[in-house]
Structure 1
């Protein structure tokens, strides 16, 4: 099963809370809850990115956010960061060089898939696609931040 390869990558995630969250996403994948695995892994990745911003570059983030949207109220918490659309959040991260252009583009693909999976519709997602989604998030978010 594809999930076995993902389980091996869990060792690259040093934060215990993050590793537990990713493991739960893998369990959803193993249970063939592919859409759930995609949504859960995305929410976890965004949470990791929020934590990174709060701990390393909050002032720069707020300055860039205001530059893009004059009405932006300075963020202080994860809930404050969540006021920004996730697509826009990725743009700010790229502008600050927190993530590179290629990573931003891949995360935009993940966000689009998450949006498709998080709402009632006819989208069908299989094991390979869900696994690739989680693998991308492990390698580019969970293991790095």
Structure 2
């Protein structure tokens, strides 16, 4: 990995896990993962095609000009976009949305939710296998 932001998010997530802060760890790992997904989208396809596909998913979405433009796009929409341009299979897209993003959302919103360690381990394994598979 070369992206310092991604590395920092991953390391901070690991530190959170070591200290028993599972919810925070999930948030940091997801932050690294979604940044990587955004980069993959931009590496695979030209902006005009990305924006055509984006509009077909969400007609109100702002155009993507660079990686920072994704800040205005929901993570779920980004994952749908990634599947449409070939970053992920339909199965992977569904796993990322239903399991990984679902856990991230449970951990990121104020509640009494406390994820079990096995659920967090599964989350990390899925992220590694689907997003960082070629980088391990």
Same fold (TM over 0.5): yes
Match of 1:68 in 2: 57
Poorly superposed stretches of 4+, deviation over 6 Å? none
Higher RCO (CA < 8 A, seq sep 6+): 1
1:72–1:118: structure 2 CA closer, same or farther, 3 Å change rule? closer
Match of 2:113 in 1: 123
1:76–1:32: structure 2 CA closer, same or farther, 3 Å change rule? same
Match of 1:107 in 2: 96
CA distance in 2, matches of 1:105, 1:69: 18
Conserved? CA contact 1:29–1:130, under 8 Å: no
Normalising by the residue count of structure 2, what TM-score does the alignment of the two structures yield? 0.84
CA distance in 2, matches of 1:47, 1:34: 20
CA distance in 1, matches of 2:59, 2:119: 38
1:77–1:133: structure 2 CA closer, same or farther, 3 Å change rule? same
- Which of 61, 64, 84 is the aligned partner of 1:95? 84
Question: Shift of the alpha carbon at 1:19?
Answer: 4.3
Deviates further, 26-35 or 63-72: 63-72
CA distance in 2, matches of 1:123, 1:91: 27
Q: Are residue 78 (structure 1) and residue 67 (structure 2) matched?
A: yes
Question: Shift of the alpha carbon at 1:116?
Answer: 0.6
Aligned Cα root-mean-square deviation (Å):
1.9
Residues 1-145 of structure 1: matches in 2 within 5 Å? 14-15=1-2, 17=4, 18-57=6-45, 58-108=47-97, 109-144=99-134
- Match of 2:72, SS? coil
1:128–1:68: structure 2 CA closer, same or farther, 3 Å change rule? closer
Count matched residues. 132
Normalising by the residue count of structure 1, what TM-score does the alignment of the two structures yield? 0.79
Question: Shift of the alpha carbon at 1:20?
Answer: 4.7
